[in-house]
């Protein structure tokens, strides 16, 4: 991959200096994020509840039980297997989990960079994608939250699938690799269904095989889901009011992703840096994205708009991680436009500020969690959590502030 800026009219020395600044700044932000993550306690609801349950569950039970807790509407055997393996290896020691999470972020950056190369984007988009992954309010939550690690795996599968579909591999190999990624993503989280977006591209050359493979995987997933959590698959009790609020939630999620004028399903109450940043980024995509009708742009646009369908009845930023990744690649494509000479550097600078703010906010949230939840509560805030588990998690959290 060419690691120089795409703006050839700029003098060579200036281009090299700009790239040095971008890569150095990105490395500093990545290191800063890891340092902050290493001093993060367990999230006291989802992390503790899930790890405790998995600690008492046998591996053989995982494919036939709901995720997170008994009676939940989630079927995520791959997520449960991943976290079970980690818990079996690390127990309640915090740092190894954070190393794995940071490693997953680096793997996501690598697969996304490979996908960018397949889309003929210049190497200058790599530091932009890195600060976007850190700074995006829709991706960073999944990066730093242990129980959302399976969501990062879905993103990795999507980025890898994108790289495969637009590679020079044989059509048969593309289908095989995409099928494997589809199974992995589906086992991690429901929004793994979004990888069906690759089906039309594969069916164009292998219509029968692609239909059989993707159809069998999808059918098998829903059969196992229904057998595990019931024929209603978690939707049997949905009312017309729920459906209406779901539609409103989808609209608010799309608005949040593209403009940040909404947050968690409601209009924003204060103007933060991320709102003008996303407004400017969306304007940049609309005005400068080359080849809107190209196959990669259409695929990314479908994911960036359509994956809001996987939102829950309550809107959370981290539920938009997958469409946010597609949005980031669209931004990278627009930033590679040759119309503005310094555009890649300017976009990187804008998003590096957001990344720095995110690192700061993660640190503040960790301190707040320790001081407001862990320190004052000698007994578990959640009655269902055993006291000995809370004691271990609380001791580890307080040690981070000593």
- Neighbouring CB atoms inside 10 A of 366's CB total 19
| CA-based end-to-end distance of the chain | 46
- Which comes out higher in pLDDT, residue 223 or 5? 223
* 5 backbone dihedrals φ, ψ, rounded to 5°: -65, 150
Contacts 24+ apart (CB under 8 A), 367-373: 367/401, 369/41, 369/43, 369/44, 369/397, 370/41, 370/397, 370/398, 370/400, 370/401, 371/401, 373/44
DSSP 42-105: PPTTHHHHHHHHHHTS-GGGGGGS-SSSTT-S---HHHHHHHHHHHHHHTT-HHHHHHHHHHHH
Q: Residue 250 has what pLDDT? A: 85
pLDDT digits (tens, 9 = 90+) for 199-237: 999 999 999 999 999 999 999 999 999 999 876 555 545
Name the pTM for this structure.
Answer: 0.93
Q: How far is CA 111 from CA 115, 162, 314, 353, 356, in A?
A: 6, 9, 30, 24, 23
pLDDT digits (tens, 9 = 90+) for 15-34: 788 889 999 999 999 999 99
Distance from C-alpha of 390 to C-alpha of 370, rounded to nearest angstrom: 13
% of the chain beyond a pLDDT of 90:
72
Asked if residues 6 and 344 have their Cβ atoms less than 8 Å apart, the reply is yes
Exposed, middle or buried: residue 341 (CB in 10 Å: 0-12, 13-18, 19+)?
A: middle
* Positions of E strands within 221-314: 262-263, 266-267
- Which comes out higher in pLDDT, residue 397 or 402? 397
pLDDT digits (tens, 9 = 90+) for 257-311: 999 998 877 888 889 999 999 999 999 999 887 667 788 999 999 999 988 887 7
């Amino acid at each position: 991959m060419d690691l120089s800026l795409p703006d050839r009219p700029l003098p060579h020395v200036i281009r090299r200096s700009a790239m040095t600044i971008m890569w150095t700044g990105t490395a500093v932000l990545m290191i800063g994020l890891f340092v902050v993550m290493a001093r993060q306690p367990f999230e006291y609801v989802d992390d503790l509840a899930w790890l405790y349950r998995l600690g008492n569950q046998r591996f053989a039970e995982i494919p036939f039980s709901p995720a997170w807790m008994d009676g939940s509407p989630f079927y995520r055997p791959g997520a449960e297997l991943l976290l079970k393996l980690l818990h079996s290896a690390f127990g309640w020691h915090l740092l190894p989990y954070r190393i794995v999470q940071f490693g997953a972020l680096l793997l996501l950056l690598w697969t996304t960079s490979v996908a960018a190369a397949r889309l003929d984007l210049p190497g200058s988009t790599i530091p932009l994608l890195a600060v976007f992954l850190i700074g995006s309010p829709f991706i960073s939550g999944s990066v730093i939250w242990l129980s959302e690690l399976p969501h990062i795996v879905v993103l990795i599968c999507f980025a890898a699938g994108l790289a495969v579909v637009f590679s020079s591999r044989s059509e048969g190999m593309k289908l095989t690799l995409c099928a494997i990624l589809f199974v992995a993503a589906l086992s991690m989280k429901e929004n793994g269904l979004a990888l069906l977006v690759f089906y039309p591209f594969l069916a164009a050359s292998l219509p029968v095989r692609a239909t059989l493979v993707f159809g069998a995987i999808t059918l098998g997933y829903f059969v196992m889901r229904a057998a595990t959590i019931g024929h209603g698959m978690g939707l049997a009790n949905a009312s017309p009011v729920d459906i209406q609020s779901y539609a409103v939630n989808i609209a608010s999620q799309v608005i949040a992703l593209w403009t940040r004028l909404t947050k968690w399903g409601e209009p924003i109450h204060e103007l933060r840096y991320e709102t003008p940043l996303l407004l400017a980024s969306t304007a940049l995509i609309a005005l400068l994205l080359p080849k809107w009708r190209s196959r990669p742009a259409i695929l990314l646009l479908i994911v960036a708009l359509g994956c809001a369908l996987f939102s829950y009845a309550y809107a959370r930023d981290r539920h938009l991680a997958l469409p946010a990744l597609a949005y980031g690649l669209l931004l990278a494509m627009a930033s590679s436009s040759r119309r503005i000479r310094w555009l890649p550097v300017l976009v990187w600078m804008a998003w590096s500020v957001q990344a720095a703010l995110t690192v700061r906010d993660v640190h503040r949230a960790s301190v707040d969690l320790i001081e407001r939840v862990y320190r004052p509560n000698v007994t578990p805030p959640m009655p269902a959590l055993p006291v000995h588990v809370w004691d271990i998690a609380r001791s580890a959290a307080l040690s981070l502030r000593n």
